[in-house]
Amino acid sequence: MASTVLVVTALEDVTADRVITALNEREVPVARVDPADIGPGLAFDARIGTGGPSWAGRLVTGSREVELGEVAAVYYRRPSPYAARYRHLPAQQRDFCAAEARHGLGGILNHLHGATYVNHPGAVTAADFKPAQLQLAAQLGLPIPPTLVTNDVEHARKFAAEHGPVIYKTFRGLPRTQDGHTGAIWTQRVDPDTFDDTLAVTAHLFQAEIPKTGDVRVTVVGRRVFAQQIAAPDGALDWRRGDWNALIHAPINVPAPVEAALHGYLGAFGLVFGCFDFALTGDGDRAEEWVFIECNPNGQWGWLPDADDITTAFADTLSTCTKGDGTR
């Protein structure tokens, strides 16, 4: 019977550290691997053939050796990009090696027979598109802001005239610079008088600004739901842009229709876990006051006041998969 939890993430992932510690305390076998360590720090072999319905083989890191068939659950967090392993190579060689590693090693890790993924990287990729998120949320009955995705300046101006004030947000974060640093473009109010033909260069996401009374982060792990109302001392439009240590948190109850929609959302995308952001337009007692903003299918939660309870929920979900009780 498979009994090991494989944690796929980078070395510096303190959020994964929480879950690994909890699993160790339960004496659940755990192996941590960063696929970008492929080389002397990570060796693997995988075999399949006639009569063998799944890949067999092993992963060998500096401290662990794992049989692929022993993996009952995969906690897929935030592994390093494969390209980081080959950054010293010329561009063509770097891209070739990274693609071969991603499709070879990644292809094995993403298709371990019978393993439960939290979350599967393919599901994360599908759920990472904001247009898909907004459409599904609306289909599930969750209020969403009026939204326009466009590269047409005239349509952007018309939308702003109909729904102003308007905010702009990116679909993805800024890519890393050549020296490895990252940045961010926060959600911000925009003046339609500044719109010009440069909008045609790429896609833009505009939304009507919600007259919100607060923000809520809801973390869902399996059937367990954790919700915190969040306030920034400076009243920032986007609470993520300031000092997270200064944020004010308060537990909040999630209305039953919203909670049901969240479980439906995760099920539709094949997710076990998700971090949802909502804007409140009232005191949060009624479902119609919860406006869906987005869901990060691989979001951070270690900074939240209820991180210990969320850790337990992850450990419960992953360790259950090692007990052979039909959940796999």
> Where does 82-239 have alpha helices with state H?
82-85, 91-109, 121-127, 130-139, 153-163
Q: What angle, rounded to 10 degrees, do the helices at 130-139 and 256-269 form? A: 130
Q: Is residue 68's pLDDT more than 50?
A: yes
291 bridge partner residues: 279
Cα(166)–Cα(209) distance, integer angstroms: 5
pLDDT band at 327 (very low <50, low <70, confident <90, very high): very low
Supply the pLDDT for residue 52: 78
State the average pLDDT over residues 80-90: 90
pLDDT band at 233 (very low <50, low <70, confident <90, very high): confident
pLDDT band at 325 (very low <50, low <70, confident <90, very high): very low
Residue 216 · residue 224 · CB < 8 Å = no
Cα(212)–Cα(280) distance, integer angstroms: 5
- Higher pLDDT, residue 328 or 62: 62
Where residue 28 falls (left for φ over 0; alpha for ψ -120 to 50; beta otherwise) is beta
Supply the pLDDT for residue 324: 57
Supply the pLDDT for residue 274: 98
Which residue ranges make up each domain of the chain? Answer: 4-118, 151-207
Supply the pLDDT for residue 62: 87
Predicted TM-score of the model (pTM): 0.91
Supply the pLDDT for residue 19: 97
Supply the pLDDT for residue 302: 93
Q: Under CATH, which number does the domain 4-118 receive? A: 3.40.50
pLDDT band at 231 (very low <50, low <70, confident <90, very high): confident
State the average pLDDT over residues 140-166: 96
Strands 56-61 and 42-47: antiparallel
- Residue range 168-205, pLDDT digits in tens: 999 987 776 666 666 777 888 999 999 999 999 999 99
48-62, 128-142, 295-309, range with the lowest pLDDT: 48-62
- Residue range 96-109, pLDDT digits in tens: 999 999 999 999 99
Q: Is residue 140's pLDDT more than 70?
A: yes
- Residue range 252-294, pLDDT digits in tens: 999 999 999 999 999 999 999 999 999 999 888 898 999 999 9
Mean pLDDT of the chain: 91
State the average pLDDT over residues 26-55: 92
State the average pLDDT over residues 137-151: 97
Cα(132)–Cα(181) distance, integer angstroms: 29
Sign of CA dihedral 262, 264, 268, 272: positive
141-150, 176-185, 307-316, range with the lowest pLDDT: 176-185
State the average pLDDT over residues 143-158: 97
